[in-house]
């Protein structure tokens, strides 16, 4: 028969207190570990994401917090199907990066758009490749958030004045087609009174080569029209010239856009005659 002394009883009480204290201290650590595991393994979706930061080479960084915008993107992510590889090099697509987050979790996705809604890809942080459902890709590509996927305005005119390079924004009337074939129109009527001073003969360049270009140079009351090749002749003896360049694009079936742009500026030409 076991015999317990008063000292043994005190030791047992101390041991029980120590065990209770250890359990009491361990519970918060266990809960913290559980919540850390839950947070790190949380799947973001259209209900849990609080914001999406969108960026690409074609547009400034945009922060999206509206539920409709978040749902549009996250539903497309959720519906994507895993594939082994893309049909062509990613360099042939337009890349858009999405950083989706809530208070604790952040996921980064890269979407790749072609001209067709049937060929839109999604890459996760491990570079696993997914294909967007055609209907989801089409919803993205026709939403105003993704207008930058298209040429929504004519290019600026590049003006080289010796070693200097300047740009001129046009006024324009412009049409472009989105992925579902819908035609959209934009325009800019704001005229900028840009002035350049140079003793060098200007050299012009317009990206996305226009189908037709016309040059008009007004010196005093004398108006002369022609092509870029005529500029040197038009500027003879001119100290101040009003230059207007009209460019037009007229092949929508091949380009996906058409329209007319006018580039206007004042040139103070200081070269000796």
CATH number of the domain at 73, please: 3.30.1490
- Considering only residues 10 and 114, tell me which one the structure prediction assigns the higher pLDDT: 114
Q: What are the two backbone dihedrals, phi and then psi, of residue 134, each rounded to the nearest 5 degrees?
A: -55, -40
Which residues on neighbouring strands pair with residue 82, listed in sequence order?
A: 130
Look up the domain containing 145 and give its range. Answer: 51-149
**Helices 134-141 + 67-79 axis angle, to 10:** 150
Query: pLDDT grade, residue 5 (50/70/90)?
Result: low
- Per-residue DSSP letter, 42: P
Mean pLDDT in residue range 115-138: 95
Contact status, residue 116 vs residue 172, Cβ threshold 8 Å: no
Q: In this predicted model, what pLDDT tens digit does every residue of 74-88 receive, in sequence order?
A: 999 999 999 998 888
Q: How much of the chain is helix, strand and coil, in % rounded to 5?
A: 30, 40, 35
Same domain? For 72 and 166 the reply is no
Residue 7 lies inside a defined structural domain of this protein: no
pTM of the entire predicted model:
0.77
Q: Please state, in angstroms and rounded to a whole number, the distance separating the CA atoms of residues 165 and 20.
A: 78
Q: In this predicted model, what pLDDT tens digit does every residue of 152-161 receive, in sequence order?
A: 999 999 999 8
- The domain total for the chain is 2
C-alpha atoms less than 13 angstroms from C-alpha of 52 in its C-beta half-sphere: 27
Mean pLDDT in residue range 8-30: 53
Residue 245 lies inside a defined structural domain of this protein: yes
pLDDT score, position 98: 94
């Amino acid at each position: 028969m076991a015999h317990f002394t008063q000292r043994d009883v005190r030791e047992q009480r101390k041991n029980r207190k120590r065990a209770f204290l250890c359990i009491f201290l361990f519970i918060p650590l266990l809960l913290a570990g559980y919540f850390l595991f839950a947070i790190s393994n949380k799947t973001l979706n259209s209900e849990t994401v609080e914001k999406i930061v969108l960026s690409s080479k074609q547009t400034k960084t945009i922060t999206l917090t509206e539920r409709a915008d978040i749902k549009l993107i996250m539903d497309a992510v959720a519906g994507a199907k895993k594939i082994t590889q893309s049909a062509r090099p990613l360099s042939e697509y337009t890349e858009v990066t999405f950083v989706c987050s809530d208070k604790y979790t952040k996921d980064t996705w890269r979407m790749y758009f072609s001209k067709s809604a049937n060929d839109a890809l999604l890459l996760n942080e491990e570079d696993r490749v997914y294909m967007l459902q055609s209907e989801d890709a089409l919803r993205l590509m026709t939403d105003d958030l993704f207008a930058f996927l298209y040429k929504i305005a004519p290019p600026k005119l590049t003006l080289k004045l010796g070693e200097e390079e300047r740009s001129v924004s046009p006024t324009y009337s412009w049409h472009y087609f989105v992925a579902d074939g819908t035609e959209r129109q934009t325009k800019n009527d704001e005229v900028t009174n840009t002035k350049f001073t140079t003793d060098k003969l200007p050299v012009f360049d317009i990206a996305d080569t226009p189908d037709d270009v016309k040059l008009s140079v007004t010196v005093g009351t004398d108006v002369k029209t022609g092509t870029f090749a005529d500029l040197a002749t038009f500027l003879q003896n001119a100290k101040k010239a009003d230059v207007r360049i009209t460019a037009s694009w007229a092949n929508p079936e091949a380009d996906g856009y058409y329209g007319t742009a006018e580039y206007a500026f004042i040139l103070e030409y200081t070269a000796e005659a």
